[in-house]
Amino acid sequence: MSSSLQAGSESSGCPKQPPLTTTGVAPWGFQGSRGSGPLAPTAEQPPARRHMQELQAFREDEDEEAGAKEKSGIERVHTYLKVLCPDVSVDATDNMPWQAALMAESPTLLPTLKFHQLVFSHEDIGKGAFSIVRYARAIDKEKTQSQWPEYAVKVIDTKTMEDLGYEASVNREICVLRMLSHPGIARMVSSFRWRDGAYLVLEYASRGDLHSILVRMGKLEECTVQFFLGEVIAALNAIHEVGFVYGDLKPENVVVTSSCHAKLADFGGCRPLTREARERTQHSLLRSLRSGDWRAADAAENPLVSEEAYAVSSDDSRVEGTTMYLPPEVVRGGAPTLAADAWALGCLEYQLLSGRPPIWVESECEEDLRSRIVSFSLDLASEALNDLSERARGLASRLLEPDTAQRLSVVGAASAPFFEGLDVFALYKKARGPDLPVFEKASAPAGDERWQKRQFSKIWTVMPLPQDYALPDSFGDKVACTLILETDTECGTPFADESWALGREATFARSNSQFESL
């Protein structure tokens, strides 16, 4: 500042200039009359002055406690850290709106998201046969990086997928994700193509999956299981209402959000059951994905399937699931139905409460496990169910019923005594779910360590059952098939293969007799 300006300010009788900060004039720097406006002083003390008073109070408390009780050095450090920490009076969700949107009734879609607008982490969340799930943040130029929304991005290698013949399965997954908007689903907010990959941007659950939680905690409290299982029932019911079976329910596919709500993930095992659901999977949504290149035009994707979409074969009879959670009728070769999801729900309930699956074998052979599932009966499992409460045991026994006609349905489980006084279809409206403790070391449940191994999905072809074959209908006194009656000449005459076998036996006998004569 020049000397003329300094002299002018002093001679004009103006008061001393207020202090400056990085964002402008500090409002508490004004000493004049209290006016209105953004620069008007407030009754609140400046952060620096208030912080000095807190430190002074900390020193006074230290002096008072010095004579009464000698505190250790680490205790004094902890007390001092509490003084240094800022007063968090605002809810964290105000700075992280995407976390609050996780349990909204409809997802926040990003129809024009591009690849260059995502920042990926070096560590992957999960990996499959032809896809990788990566952690990413969407860039928001108006906010700091810590406030950028978090997502789980499923990157599908389209070339590997086509070589393995999984295009129909991936197409069904995209179809289901576009149809579902229930809060109990890890919903898809955007999708696009970039280079040789297809990118599905999904909601991110920061607390991990239930399998990881079980490994750390061993088992869960019954009130916690009620909440998580209730939200799983509501999500399964939403899938069933659009005409699909989930097909692969297990702890690894149930993820927990930052607010401790449960969501279903990984819809590769979904299969259509109704005619409308099958028609929706007739078109390849995978091939019609918009481009995610930054040079492409911002064209919002249409959630409905257009007639111009590429056709895809729907004759894929393969199904996907995890052996440990399959019902007996599917292990025998049948296709999964809504009853299969109910059986897996019973397995999930039992494992969350006890820390181990209801059906287990000591060997590593999968055939032994399949045999145990087929021969499963409630009488043999009654001893294991005794570890559960009466209400939990009643629900598990009705869901793990081998007879599909007697098995409790998923929607029927919502009104079971286990959920008495709890509306499972309104749990997503709660601000938070049950708090889960954080352990520094994993506490393994008692028993076989293989209970803690992650169970991976498998794809197989459904084998036709004997009852799937039926004779043609008869017409009057004639049957549809043509009967060829045996003639008198053919009666008693051996077939060609039998005569050949008889001649071979005679030749073999003659050669043996000649060998013995020598």
Q: Is 154 annotated to bind ligand?
A: yes
Assess whether pLDDT exceeds 70 at residue 359. Answer: yes
What's the rounded mean pLDDT across residues 437-449?
52
Residues 130-189: pLDDT tens digits? 899 999 999 999 888 888 999 999 999 999 998 888 888 899 999 999 999 999 999 999
Residues 67-109: pLDDT tens digits? 556 777 888 787 777 766 655 444 444 557 778 889 999 999 9
Q: Of 183, 168, 139, which is closest to residue 461 (Cα–Cα)?
A: 168
Alpha carbon distance 111, 127 (integer Å): 25
Assess whether pLDDT exceeds 50 at residue 298. Answer: yes
Lowest mean pLDDT among 207-211, 317-321, 336-340: 317-321
Assess whether pLDDT exceeds 70 at residue 453. Answer: yes
Question: What is the pLDDT at residue 24?
Answer: 45
Residues 172-189: pLDDT tens digits? 999 999 999 999 999 999
- Give the range with max mean pLDDT: 35-44, 98-107, 179-188, 210-219: 179-188
Where is pLDDT greater, at 278 or 51? 278
462 pLDDT tier (thresholds 50, 70, 90) = low
Question: What is the pLDDT at residue 180?
Answer: 94
Question: What is the pLDDT at residue 475?
Answer: 44
Phi, psi of 446 (to 5 degrees): -70, 140
Letter string b/e over residues 391-418, b meaning 16 or more CB atoms within 10 A of that residue's CB: ebbbbbbbbbbbebeebbbbbebbebeb
204 pLDDT tier (thresholds 50, 70, 90) = very high
- Burial of 355 per CB tally in 10 Å (0-12, 13-18, 19+): buried
Question: What is the pLDDT at residue 10?
Answer: 43
What's the rounded mean pLDDT across residues 183-199?
95
State how far the alpha carbon of 174 is from the alpha carbons of 102, 192, 287, 394, 512, in Å.
19, 11, 11, 37, 71
Question: What is the pLDDT at residue 237?
Answer: 97
Assess whether pLDDT exceeds 90 at residue 430. Answer: yes
Residues 387-419: pLDDT tens digits? 789 999 999 999 999 999 999 999 999 999 999
Question: What is the pLDDT at residue 282?
Answer: 83
Where is pLDDT greater, at 517 or 221? 221
Assess whether pLDDT exceeds 50 at residue 43. Answer: no
What's the rounded mean pLDDT across residues 113-119?
96
What tokens does 51 get? 């912080």
Share of the chain above pLDDT 70, in %: 66
What's the rounded mean pLDDT across residues 17-46?
45
What's the rounded mean pLDDT across residues 44-52?
53
Bridge partners, residue 192, by sequence:
199
320 contacts 269 by C-beta, under 8 angstroms: yes
Question: What is the pLDDT at residue 85?
Answer: 64
Question: What is the pLDDT at residue 353?
Answer: 93
Letter string b/e over residues 419-430, b meaning 16 or more CB atoms within 10 A of that residue's CB: beeeebbebbee
Task: Sketch out the chain's domains with CATH numbers.
Answer: 106-204 (3.30.200.20), 208-275+318-433 (1.10.510.10)
Q: What is the mean pLDDT of the chain?
A: 78
Where is pLDDT greater, at 414 or 56? 414
Where is pLDDT greater, at 123 or 273? 273
pTM over 0.95: no
Assess whether pLDDT exceeds 70 at residue 13. Answer: no
